[in-house]
Structure 1
Amino acid sequence: MSLHIDPVFANSDSAPAGTNNLTGLDDWREMDPQQQPTYLDGPALDDALSSLSDSPPLIFAGEADVLKQRIAAASRGEAFVLAGGDCAESFADAQADKIRARVQTVLQMAAVLTYGGSMPVVKLGRMAGQFAKPRSADMETREGVTLPSYRGDIVNGYEFTEASRRHDPARLLQAYHVSASTLNLIRAFTQGGFADLRLVHEWNRGFLTSNPGYQRYEQTAREIDRAIRFMDACGADFDALKTTEFYAAHEALLLEYERALTRIDSRTGQAYDVSGHFLWIGERTRDIDGAHVDFLSKVRNPIGVKLGPTATADEALTLAEKLDPDAEPGRLTFVTRMGAGKITEALPELLSGIGDRLPHVTWVCDPMHGNTITSNTGYKTRRFEDVMAEVEGFFNAHQDAGTVPGGLHIELTGDDVTEIMGGATEIDDEGLRRRYETLVDPRLNHDQSLEMAFQVAEYLTRRS
């Protein structure tokens, strides 16, 4: 994250004379917004939103603009985007050790991908704001008892009790404060030497030596080691490599929260959502005439849209016109999430239908959400091999279409959980029982995340 930032109007909707204001940012309220909480205490909600509106920004407009430039480079094949983190953050897991482990995992993956692609990696964390999750049903029934579904810690609790499952507006403020402390810690890690390239490389060497199944990646590690020694011999300024940019991303699902954290940039008079650097619209809420598309069309952050296997070229083109009418490089990212069994047909058809009309859009692969299954032991899980098959299909489709595979968007943790089957550690159906900890969707553990990075580095090496 850049520490040299441009200010925004943090506590007011006012702006300098002659600049834009927040007109139009509330149009979404008339569009029947989907996947929103049902708050029963109106005054408490008003108080929470008022407090959020008066709170300092979590990120700054200048940071979001720098990220937009970085993502624009990925659209041209000059960088690669890596977005990784929890499926849904929890307040309880906002601990220094757990945050450090997630940041470390992303940094380790990025080091390998940087070498494989011979290009910078744009590091995004699904952190400091990824507290809300869309659900397929508003209610959940267990043993004859029906209660509201768990929608993430920003809305309600996971415990299956009436008090816990109540939609509580006080959680909006708690999410803000947890996000602020998480961002402070991420800044400390990435600016204070924790991200030193030599240190990250040593972590990866340790990962290889402690896992005999990963011998196939030792050649890549040796090549990175040789490159670092060469840089050192040439007098490279390793002090400049002790810090790195690291940006916060989340799904902009709860529109009241996002609206309360929208500010006017003092430089330009434009609206920015200061809850996170990069915001995305999910597959369930990307209706072109829907509330989420309308709201994010009016803020200047870089944004993403998830596209499932049923997405058509016409839909993608219409979304691009609505969200990025000026065809600004780095503004819009399409995140495809199609499933290993569908991507080989669906993505080529989508890319063929679009043709050369969206060269400024960045294409990123989410290989997680289309590959969810239920194990024989009843766990919601994914197979590592399916995840990697979708990644391979993503690269192949873009190679055939002559377009740029710009990045990965994955659910991961730095912990040694057992939530996804397969990989070199060979987690089987029974193995899921050992450390299945996610509250919503299964995540790659630390070893599986690095295994993915080494495999993707091979794809990038071929591309470069």
Structure 2
Amino acid sequence: MTTATVNAQHHPVDALQTRDWAPGSWRQRTALQHPRYDDPEELAHVGERLSQLPPLVTSGEVLTLQHALADAQEGRSFLLQGGDCAEAFADCNSETISNRLKVLLQMSMVLVHGLKQPVLRVGRFAGQYAKPRSADTETLDGVTLPCFRGDMVNGVAFTPQARRADPQRLIQAHACSALTMNFVRALIDGGFADLRHPEYWELAWVEHAPLAVEYRRMLAGIADSMRFMETLAGPIDGCARVDFFTSHEALLLYYEETMTRRVPRQQGWFNLSTHFPWIGMRTAALDGAHVEYFRGIRNPIGVKVGPSMQPDALLRLIDVLNPHDEAGRLTLIHRMGNAHVATGLPPLLRTVRAAGRRVLWVADPMHGNTESTASGYKTRRFDNIRGELEQAFDIHAAEGTRLGGVHLELTGEDVTECTGGARALDEKDLSRAYKSMVDPRLNYEQSLELAMLIVRKSGRPDFDERVLGSGMLKSLAPVAAAV
């Protein structure tokens, strides 16, 4: 029996579920990044309807994820968390959803092959329909309207009708999340993630991409060796199916409250809108509504940590969110920026380590590196993304801690939103295929590049993407075990 299993059986519910907490107790605190709804009665009616709808995930899945995150804390696995910056209702279709899974599967196989350990796959989907914004309003040609906060809140069109915060969109977000989850589960149960059929993971638009060629060489070697071993010894358990979990920033607490449920034969309250909710950097105030809500749910949770976070404030936050130091409960996702990670991260690592707190450290090299071009595009330079990630690995090694995962905004679509990478995209390329409604995402090749970087920085200096296809049979056994 693993340590994580023991901890789950003796869950300190009283520490998380204090007597002064309820799913709606956040309403007594200041809720940052919430839209202003002009019809409280309509909002209340929508909340009642949502509270009657089925949940999107199960408590058993939530606890399974917590066990896996506890393993990642101990260095026995690696977390790959990725997906869209903000999902769109219009993208709730089979092609977009399957392409997201394809990219995550391909990245995870690079990681499994290189790290020789399990990879925990968590998607930013089935609920990532709301986004925090730096300003409440937007002005265009002398007209000021509420800013676009994601399809869960309002529309992207610059009109008073579209920019109204519409409570009915909360119900539509639940419906799209449910459809996404249903399709993901059907794909996984139907063998979409079967290691023996890598052809399922092909993206049509990258037929001639250089990194795709090298990746196919690696995967073909693994698949051929797998079939050879199965011919000799029979089916290898665990290769026909992988687990996927969902995550989103739990920004709109009106919605999250309705999805917070008690479960038979389990203690406490679970947020059943997602397996792994997180608190964004803009809403992590210790006395704020989001921290108040998160301290009472049983899900494993994440917190985004920026360069302004002070070590003593982080410790106080940890004490509130994980007072009994429960394994797998708390993930700290640092997003400093390439220019600030060297000064901002080490004091936090030292303080948390000195206090003996158990957390999973994860790097988000995306959000601290956003910039705007002269032509008005929001973009991220791949060199800065790669630079922050490289520094993060080096800083953790120097401080005696471990970087146990990455948190990325990426897509399986043919986009040109981040400059640099394998095709050396520049500012002129952004207009070719810029599709994001909010923040720029990595495309397929840029995502694979980062996966290869992670392997090299995690103790495999001999790993070289140019020879991914060599030595497959020799290395297959640990790969098969890790999948």
Same fold (TM > 0.5): yes
1:427-446 aligned within 5 A? 427-446=425-444
Q: Which residue of 1 aligns with 2:286?
A: 288
Q: Contact 1:68–1:301 (CA<8 Å) still a contact in 2?
A: yes
Distance 1:285 1:134 in 2: 9
Q: Which of 104, 107, 110 matches 2:105?
A: 107
Q: Which residue of 1 aligns with 2:235?
A: 237
Q: Which residue of 2 aligns with 1:145?
A: 143
Q: Contact 1:262–1:274 (CA<8 Å) still a contact in 2?
A: yes
AA paired with 1:211? Answer: A
Residue deviations 1:237-281, cap 9 Å, x none? 246312111001000100110001110021123100111000000
Q: How far off its partner does 1:205 sit?
A: 12
Q: Contact 1:20–1:269 (CA<8 Å) still a contact in 2?
A: no
Asked whether 1:161 is paired with 2:159, we answer yes
Q: Contact 1:195–1:242 (CA<8 Å) still a contact in 2?
A: yes
AA paired with 1:138? Answer: D
Q: Which residue of 2 aligns with 1:9?
A: none
Distance 2:351 2:224 in 1: 44
Q: Which residue of 1 aligns with 2:8?
A: none
Q: Contact 2:203–2:412 (CA<8 Å) still a contact in 1?
A: no
Which structure 2 residue ranges, 5 or more long, are not aligned?
Answer: 1-16, 463-483
Distance 1:256 1:382 in 2: 32
Q: Which residue of 2 aligns with 1:5?
A: none
Q: How far off its partner does 1:145 sit?
A: 0.7
Residue deviations 1:307-343, cap 9 Å, x none? 0112122122111110011111110000000011111
Q: Contact 1:376–1:429 (CA<8 Å) still a contact in 2?
A: no
Using a 3 Å threshold, how does the CA distance of structure 1 residues 214 and 173 change in structure 2: closer, same or farther?
Answer: closer
For the residue of structure 2 that corresponds to 1:59, the secondary structure is coil
Q: Which of 46, 49, 55 matches 1:48?
A: 46
> Higher mean Cα deviation, 383-392 or 328-337?
383-392
1:399-414 aligned within 5 A? 399-414=397-412
For the residue of structure 2 that corresponds to 1:184, the secondary structure is helix
AA paired with 2:50? Answer: L
Using a 3 Å threshold, how does the CA distance of structure 1 residues 348 and 215 change in structure 2: closer, same or farther?
Answer: farther
Q: Which residue of 1 aligns with 2:59?
A: 61
Q: Contact 1:377–1:430 (CA<8 Å) still a contact in 2?
A: no
Q: Contact 1:123–1:247 (CA<8 Å) still a contact in 2?
A: yes
Distance 1:395 1:289 in 2: 32
Distance 2:314 2:415 in 1: 36
Using a 3 Å threshold, how does the CA distance of structure 1 residues 222 and 189 change in structure 2: closer, same or farther?
Answer: closer
Q: How far off its partner does 1:217 sit?
A: 6.9
Using a 3 Å threshold, how does the CA distance of structure 1 residues 227 and 363 change in structure 2: closer, same or farther?
Answer: farther
AA paired with 1:308? Answer: G
Distance 1:218 1:171 in 2: 41
AA paired with 2:36? Answer: T
Q: Which of 173, 183, 189 matches 1:175?
A: 173
Q: Contact 1:21–1:271 (CA<8 Å) still a contact in 2?
A: no
Query: Structure 2 length normalisation: TM-score?
Result: 0.87
AA paired with 2:159? Answer: T
Q: Contact 1:324–1:332 (CA<8 Å) still a contact in 2?
A: yes
Q: Which of 277, 297, 300 matches 1:279?
A: 277
Q: How far off its partner does 1:150 sit?
A: 0.3
Q: Which residue of 1 aligns with 2:375?
A: 377
For the residue of structure 1 that corresponds to 2:355, the secondary structure is coil
Which structure 1 residue ranges, 5 or more long, are not aligned?
Answer: 1-18
Q: Contact 1:57–1:261 (CA<8 Å) still a contact in 2?
A: yes
Using a 3 Å threshold, how does the CA distance of structure 1 residues 209 and 101 change in structure 2: closer, same or farther?
Answer: closer
Asked whether 1:257 is paired with 2:255, we answer yes
Using a 3 Å threshold, how does the CA distance of structure 1 residues 432 and 185 change in structure 2: closer, same or farther?
Answer: same
Distance 1:290 1:227 in 2: 53
Q: Contact 1:412–1:443 (CA<8 Å) still a contact in 2?
A: yes
For the residue of structure 1 that corresponds to 2:145, the secondary structure is strand
Q: Which residue of 2 aligns with 1:83?
A: 81
Q: Contact 2:369–2:380 (CA<8 Å) still a contact in 1?
A: yes
Using a 3 Å threshold, how does the CA distance of structure 1 residues 231 and 325 change in structure 2: closer, same or farther?
Answer: farther
Query: Structure 1 length normalisation: TM-score?
Result: 0.90
Residue deviations 1:2-32, cap 9 Å, x none? xxxxxxxxxxxxxxxxx99995332211112
Q: Which of 265, 274, 290 matches 1:267?
A: 265
